[in-house]
Amino acid sequence: MIAGAQKAIAAAVAPLLKRIETLEAISPLQGERGEPGPQGEPGRDGVGLAGAMVDRDGVLILTLSNGTHTPLGVVVGTNGADGAKGEPGKDGTDGANGNDGRDGFSLDDFDIMPGDDGRTITLKFQQGETRHAYELVFPVAIYRGVFKDGTDYTTGDLVTWAGSMWHCDEATKAKPGDGPWTLATKKGRDGRDGKPA
């Protein structure tokens, strides 16, 4: 900003300096020396340049050493051209004429249905023609008895096979030991024969 102000000051005073240079180049005619005039009063203190700034309108303002401010009328910056006129906006809707919202689900529209597998719960919501159902499956451990060939088993099922208990890790029909099963409880050894009393 200071560099810009210095350029503006130089541009503003250039015509004055040119005029002074022109006047100094003129050779004056030598006249006869006159009588000395009376003693003049002391002159006022000179004023120097203390600073410069550009105001919000781009006008250069000098601050003098006596505290006064002198606007030079020099516009440092120029305003940009006006942009193109925008298109009119669309008319807004009247908020007072909006439609009422639909009623939310109440407890009367809600039901919970347990599944036959012992680990599935279905949440049902019904209101008029609007229906929603969400099925939640919890992989809890459920004992299904002795393993049976051809039966569908799923995650969390426990079966007994060859004297051991097995946990099903994912849906399968394979028997424990051949499919996605984890040994939960290993078969114990046979005990010794007891003695007659």
Q: What is the pLDDT of residues 62-92, one digit of tens each?
A: 676 676 766 665 555 556 678 888 888 888 7
- Per domain, the residue ranges of the chain are 1-22+48-77, 107-137, 142-185
**What number does CATH give the domain 142-185?**
2.10.10.20
Residue 59 neighbours by CB under 8 Å, 6+ apart: 71, 72, 73, 74, 75, 76
Helix (H) or strand (E) holding 11: helix 2-25
| The pLDDT value given to residue 172 | 95
Low-confidence residues of the chain: pLDDT under 50: none
Task: Note the pLDDT of residue 153.
Answer: 94
Instruction: Give the per-residue pLDDT at 188.
Output: 82
C-alpha–C-alpha distance, residues 10 and 71, integer Å: 15
Contact indicator for 65, 75 with CB cutoff of 8 Å = no
